[in-house]
Structure 1
Amino acid sequence: MTREVQAVDGGGPVRVLLADDEAVLRRGLRLLLEGGGTIRVVAEAGDGDELLAAVRTHRVDVALVDVQMPGKDGLSALRELTALPGAPVAAVLTTFDLDDYVTDALRFGAHGFLLKDADPDVLVRAVHDLAAGGAVLDPRITARLLPRLRSASDCAREAELVQALSARERQVLQLLAGGRSNADIGCRLGLTEATVKSYVSTVLSKLGAQNRVQAALIAQRVAGVGDRW
């Protein structure tokens, strides 16, 4: 079953939940994200149980989740989180040595992969992109994941699925793979946001992708972001 992300309205700051067992890191991320006044950290969690409890008691747009936490870890929490009605968009906040966890997080419905040492501006922009319905893939993580995912998947079949898309659907897929939100795709293609949302849902269904991140990785495996099919 595919799950298209609902974009956040522009009526206020993006509401973020930080889930990481390191309090110092959470404090630093809070200061970084809230510095511009467009993001507000509404809750913090030190483990998976606290994360799920916070989502049930706070209105959250984006959850940044570490995978290694005591008790219920981030992956277990992520699997439960993405199954909740009206769940926030979840992005994994990870480090290079957690590639296996990132692969699992993708299967569990993560819409973004961010590195803890990313430039502050990159993290802030990523949160806004996620809230707007985009997918966020740090190029360093993508470069490490693609060879493994390529060897584990039927690339020929994926190429056939992409080729079977209409010309417009392939345009949408290319922009989606570049992390563009529905609104941005609409501006670039001269379509309404509602029409783009319909195209995205159709593309996810035809590719057998559960979310935008999976579709983006398929696009990159088949041809690379920015190439034409």
Structure 2
Amino acid sequence: MVLPTGNGRAVRVVLADDEPMLLRGLRVLLEGDGTIAVVAEAADGAELLTAVAEHRPDVALVDVQMPGTDGLTALRDMLVDPAAPATAVLTTFDLDDYVADALRFGANGFLLKDAEPEALVRAVHDLAAGGAVLDPRITARLLPRLRTNSDNSREVGLVRALSAREGQVLRLLADGRSNADIGSRLGLTEATVKSYVSTVLTKLGADNRVQAALIAQRVEGER
């Protein structure tokens, strides 16, 4: 039985992957939490777009390497909609060049398919709450790859130019915290945190929370 979450209803999820066994396992795992409802499954990008349009889920977990209309194409088309679900890419440890494109299209995070059940459940709730999710093992692989395409000295300067409060918000954002969680930790309203996050993204030149988190982690790695 799926129980409502604190906001009165279950987190609604769409899963997209071309491996039936993986889809079945993810459904059992997520719905076993009791606060998550898998409302649809998709075997390719076209089915994903149809499922999202029909069910309007809170969260989508998407494998980008699918036959037919691949997941990356679907992400590009889906995430231009302001009402699109929070989306995390499901991947294996062998990251490919699609990572940068998925970030540019607005993916909210990256999760490994072999992540611990508790981590996946927590990630779904964090995504639904507005957070960004990055498996630490993925971050370790992402940072060296993306560092070669970034101007580290410029990023260090941008982060140092943030106000003290903006820096606090960025550090919590980089930990994947939602606006509500950041507000609770800093004694701010959620609306105020949302304003700070918007300002931080603008100052860093980041398109979304994941990009800002990666900038923060790259800069931290330079210290």
Q: Same fold (TM over 0.5)?
A: yes
Q: Check if 1:182 corresponds to 2:187.
A: no
Relative contact order, higher structure (CA 8 A, sep 6+): 1
Deviations 1:165-193 (A, max 9, x none): 11100000000001111111111101011
Deviations 1:113-147 (A, max 9, x none): 00000000000000000100110000111001101
Residue pairs, 1:1-229, within 5 angstroms: 10-224=7-221
Cα distance in 2 between the residues matched to 1:97 and 1:146: 14
Cα distance in 2 between the residues matched to 1:98 and 1:177: 20
**Equivalenced residues, count:** 219
Runs of 4+ that moved beyond 6 A:
none
Q: Percent identity?
A: 78
**Aligned-residue CA RMSD in angstroms?**
1.5
Going from structure 1 to structure 2, the CA distance change for 1:221 and 1:111 (only over 3 Å counts) comes to same
- Name the amino acid aligned to 1:60: P
Which residue number corresponds to residue 3 of structure 1? none
3-state SS in 1 of match to 2:115: coil
Deviations 1:1-45 (A, max 9, x none): xxxxxxx98121100000001111101100000002100001111
- Name the amino acid aligned to 1:189: L
- Name the amino acid aligned to 1:97: D
Asked if 2 retains the 8 angstrom alpha-carbon contact of 1:99 and 1:145, the reply is no
More off after superposition, 54-63 vs 92-101:
92-101
- Name the amino acid aligned to 2:141: R
Cα distance in 2 between the residues matched to 1:35 and 1:73: 28
Cα distance in 2 between the residues matched to 1:26 and 1:107: 26
Structure 2 unaligned runs (5+)? none
Cα distance in 2 between the residues matched to 1:59 and 1:103: 26
* Shift in Å, 1:206: 0.9
Cα distance in 1 between the residues matched to 2:83 and 2:142: 29
Structure 1 unaligned runs (5+)? 1-7
Going from structure 1 to structure 2, the CA distance change for 1:84 and 1:9 (only over 3 Å counts) comes to farther
